């Protein structure tokens, strides 16, 4: 790529972009400028606050770029790249104020075909509608939605601060009162969204911004959903994401992994509890686990207690976090307002302002506004409506395009600008949508589907498969009389008492049937009472109800001892065995 090396060429390029006028550049056009390296002039212009480090870095590539979105917004810095697009810090040229602008990158959509791109556009507009429906001190505000060269963009409130994920990752866990206060504020913002009928569905530390006054702002409602007024959702999830798990696995509620479109505000409360856990410990609830293991852990395991990691945390605060992270929605604190009230007593004494040393060194005051009027014309630079060159040091993976200036990112850009320019690469965030990455292989896809089936058994009623799993068409095998077979070598014979510890394993069980039930699936229960907690059931799905098991009756099974081989799963705290073949069931006596 061509690079501007001489000062005169660099100044001409700046003038061509309309960032600065010839009059403003006059003092930099000296006789010596012809022999001055472009990087030296860039250093001077940055020091004089005539250019931002981001602008200088892009211009040093020697290629004209468009820094203007319509005639109202001038790009000052690149704040981050997320699954839906890029976020820039911009100047509103008429009002001379800082705003954050999120530009949808349709061309960067992953997936198969135009439907995915349309889904991104619809979700982008749904985010705008969601935020526009809210007006609260703890939620980022949206000012406008426009288009530039066919790409929609959203103009939002700019927060001079840092996201909580980065704050804790760099500086360590928070004091108990500070963590309680920040999550209390977050809960108040969520309560406002809840009252407006919204569910966020992607609550996590990187989606909360901490400003210099100690205020918390909730952002990134790209996955938000209207709970009551479904018309305003426009069917986005059902049309485009019916088979996609939406959310961030480290903070995702168990039921959200089953069907993202059916969760309520209690899923956000679970995620907020995981956020509180992270702020207090500096750790996610389940560490060093593969993706599938994390999903299962959220379904079945309890995290390491907070006070085991940090004994100084009040026991009452730990208890609140534990309630927020209960596996079953009905066992959690039920509303964000109740969460805020529960945390209030632990947010004293008031934590005060954030430590200045821990906040970004580059503040809003670093940017000089009013340097140029609106451009006389907008150049067309690419079809996406976004900058074609983005800084190498954007937000790290796992963040959400946070609307804040990162000192490390911006200063790193400046250091890179003032040395030999390196090839600029785009720093793309791990997608909020959880999709298999290209090239991972078919086994990851198959494994994810199998995981979804196992996880679904925990929360879903029998006979009602989750939306997130699309089973292949069932083809009933030709009826054959079952042949008694010995358990395969891969199956372990276990007692019913041990079955609950063999989740996901193929085993053989033997017991006397106490009752039979079910309309679609047939349940061979070990107890007379199907709902008993110590019950065990062998499940005959329609595909194994063939031959002698085609119309099973109580007389056929009740009081008989059966031997069955299959895979163990949990259904509402009741262990059960799913048969794969009719030959795997036999009546012993």
Enzyme catalytic residues: 202
Q: Give, as one character, the DSSP assignment of residue 435.
A: -
Structure tokens belonging to residue 586 = 């036999």
Q: How far apart are CA 108 and CA 10, in angstroms?
A: 31
Instruction: Say how many C-beta atoms besides its own lie within 10 A of residue 539's C-beta.
Output: 21
Q: How far apart are CA 298 and CA 215, in angstroms?
A: 30
Q: How far apart are CA 484 and CA 340, in angstroms?
A: 60
Q: How far apart are CA 565 and CA 487, in angstroms?
A: 7
Which residues are 91's β-sheet partners?
A: 74, 98
Residue found by looking up tokens 């209030």 in the block: 344
Which residues are 85's β-sheet partners?
A: 104
How large is the C-alpha radius of gyration of the chain?
A: 29
From residue 396, how far is each of 275, 393, 400, 565 by CA, in Å?
18, 8, 9, 47
- Dihedral over Cα of 79, 267, 294, 280: its sign: positive
Angle at 368 between CA 365 and CA 374, to 5 degrees: 135
DSSP, collapsed to helix, strand or coil, labels residue 86 as strand
Residue found by looking up tokens 């379904």 in the block: 299
From residue 377, how far is each of 30, 68, 120, 307 by CA, in Å?
29, 9, 29, 60
User: How would you classify the pairing of strands 208-211 and 225-226?
Assistant: unpaired
* Cis ω before 132 (30° cut-off from 0): no
DSSP, collapsed to helix, strand or coil, labels residue 37 as strand
């Amino acid at each position: 790529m061509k690079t501007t090396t001489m000062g005169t060429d660099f100044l001409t390029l700046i003038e061509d972009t309309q960032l600065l006028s010839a009059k403003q550049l006059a003092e930099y056009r000296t006789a010596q400028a012809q022999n001055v390296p472009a990087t030296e002039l860039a250093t001077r212009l940055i020091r004089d606050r005539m250019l931002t480090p981001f602008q200088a870095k892009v211009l040093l590539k020697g290629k004209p770029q468009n820094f203007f979105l319509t005639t109202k917004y001038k790009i000052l810095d690149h704040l981050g790249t997320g699954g839906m697009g890029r976020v820039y810090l911009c100047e509103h040229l008429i009002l001379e104020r800082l705003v954050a602008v999120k530009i949808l990158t349709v061309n960067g959509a992953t997936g198969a075909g135009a439907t995915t791109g349309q889904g991104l556009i619809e979700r982008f507009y749904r985010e705008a509608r969601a935020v526009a429906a809210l007006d609260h001190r703890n939620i980022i505000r949206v000012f406008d939605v426009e288009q530039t060269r066919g790409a929609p963009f959203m103009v939002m409130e700019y927060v001079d601060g840092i996201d909580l994920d980065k704050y804790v990752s760099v500086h360590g866990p928070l004091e108990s009162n500070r963590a309680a206060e920040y999550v209390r504020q977050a809960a108040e913002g969520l309560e406002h969204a809840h009252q407006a009928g919204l569910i966020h569905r992607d609550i996590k530390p990187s989606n909360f911004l901490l400003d210099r006054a100690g205020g918390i702002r909730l952002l990134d409602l790209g996955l938000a959903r209207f709970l009551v007024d479904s018309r305003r959702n426009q069917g986005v999830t059902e049309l485009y994401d019916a088979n996609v798990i939406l959310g961030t696995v480290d903070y995702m509620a168990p039921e959200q992994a089953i069907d993202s479109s059916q969760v309520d505000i209690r899923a956000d409360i679970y995620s907020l509890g995981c956020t509180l856990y992270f702020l207090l410990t500096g750790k996610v609830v389940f560490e060093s686990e593969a993706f599938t293991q994390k999903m299962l852990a959220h379904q079945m395991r309890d995290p390491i207690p907070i006070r085991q990691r940090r004994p100084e945390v009040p026991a009452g605060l730990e208890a609140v976090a534990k309630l927020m992270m209960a596996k079953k929605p009905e066992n959690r604190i039920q509303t964000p307002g109740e969460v805020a009230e529960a945390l209030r007593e632990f947010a004293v004494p008031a934590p005060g302002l954030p430590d200045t040393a821990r906040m970004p060194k580059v503040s809003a005051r670093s940017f000089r506004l009013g340097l140029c009027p609106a451009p006389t014309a907008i150049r067309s630079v690419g079809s996406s409506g976004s900058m074609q060159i983005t800084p190498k040091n954007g937000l790290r993976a796992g963040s959400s395009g946070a609307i804040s200036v990162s000192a490390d990112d911006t200063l790193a850009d400046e250091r890179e600008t003032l040395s030999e320019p390196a090839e600029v690469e785009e720093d793309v965030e791990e997608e909020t949508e959880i999709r298999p990455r290209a090239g991972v292989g078919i086994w990851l896809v198959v494994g994810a589907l199998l995981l979804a089936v196992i996880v679904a058994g925990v929360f879903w009623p029998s006979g009602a498969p989750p939306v997130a799993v699309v089973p292949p068409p069932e083809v009933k095998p030709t009826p054959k009389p079952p042949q008694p077979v010995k358990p395969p070598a891969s199956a372990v014979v276990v007692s019913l008492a041990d079955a609950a510890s063999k989740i996901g394993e193929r085993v053989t069980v033997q017991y006397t049937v106490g009752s039979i039930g079910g309309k679609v699936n047939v349940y061979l229960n070990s107890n007379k009472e199907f709902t008993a907690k110590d019950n065990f059931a062998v499940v005959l799905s329609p595909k194994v109800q063939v031959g002698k098991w085609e119309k099973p009756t109580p007389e056929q099974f009740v009081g008989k001892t059966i031997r069955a081989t299959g895979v163990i799963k949990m259904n509402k705290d009741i262990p059960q065995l799913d048969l794969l073949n009719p030959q795997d069931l036999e009546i012993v006596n």
